[in-house]
Chains A and B, each alone.
Chain A
C-alpha cells in the first residue's frame, strides 16, 4: 500500500464516518437557524450555529482519523511518515466544511429573506458592508479554525489512548497545579495577573484590550496547527502498534 492509497483510504474513511454526522448537523443547523429567526423575529439570520456544528464535525473527523488509520496503515506497510502525511493530506476537508457553512448560511438567509449576519464577520471585525473581502477572509479563517480543531482532536485521541498513562497523569497534574497555584495567588493576594488568560488573549487576539488583530489571529492559528501536527508526528514515529486491538 503506497502513500496515495493511504490518502484515498483516509478520505474514504473520513467521508464515511463523518458523512452521517455532517448530514445531521446540516439538518440541525438549518432547523436552528429557522427557529432562531422565528423566535427572535429579526430581519437577519446568524451563521454562528452552522459554524459551531462544523467545528464539531471537524473535531470528530480528527478523533476518528487516528483510530481508523494508524494500525491499519502500519500493518499494510505504509511508513510512519506516510501515515502522518496522509493525515495532513486530509486537512483540506476543512476548506470544504468552511465553504459549505457559507453556503448553508447563504441559503438560509435567502429562504428566510433576511440579511446574513456572519458570526465570524463580527468576531474578526470585518466590515459587513464590504462582503467581497469579508467572505474570502472568513473562509480562510474558518478553514484555519477547523484545521486547528481537527488537529486538536487527532492529537488528543493519540495522546490519551496511546501514550503511557504515567505521562498523561504527569501532564494533567502539571496543567491543573499551574492553574490551581495561579488561582490561589490571584484569589488571596490579588496581586498576580491571570497569566494564562492574558497570554492566551495576547497570543490569539494580538492584544489584551479586546481587539482582535486579524493578521495576528491567522499566524496564531498557523502556529497552533504547526505545534499540534508536530507533536502528533513525533508520537506517530515513536508509538508502538496496539496489539490489543483487532485489525479488521
Chain B
C-alpha cells in the first residue's frame, strides 16, 4: 500500500486517517498526535504558525514512509502535517501505522515522528500571549552543519550566541 502523506491547512481527521489505513489483516494501530502546547520555555503561547517547503516536505514524507516500511516491515503508514495558523490544543502532526502485530506498529510509529522532527522541512513561529514579538523556533542542527563545515574549511570560528530560541521537545 502506498503511504498516506499529506501537508494540509485543514484540521487533521485522525479517525478518518486510521479508518483509511486499517485492513482486516491488521491487529494493531499505533498513532501519535502532536498538539500545540500553551507554553514554551516559560512563555505563554497564543498560537503557532507553521511554514513548509511544500514540494520537498511531501517528497520527504514519502521517503520517510518508504524507509519505515522497509525497516519495520510494515505496509500501512499515514503521515499528516498541518501548515498555517494553529491554536493551542490543535493537532499539528499525526502519524498512524497499522500492522498485524503491535510491536512493529509501535516501533514504526515512534521512528516516524522522530524522522519528521529531524528531517521534514517545516518550521514554526510562536506568537505569545504577552504580546511580545513572534519568534521562529529553531530545531536542533545536525552535528556537522553546512555552514560549520564550509567555515571550518576556511578556518573560521564556530561558537557564539544563539540567534533565536531552541526547540524543546
A and B held together in a complex: no
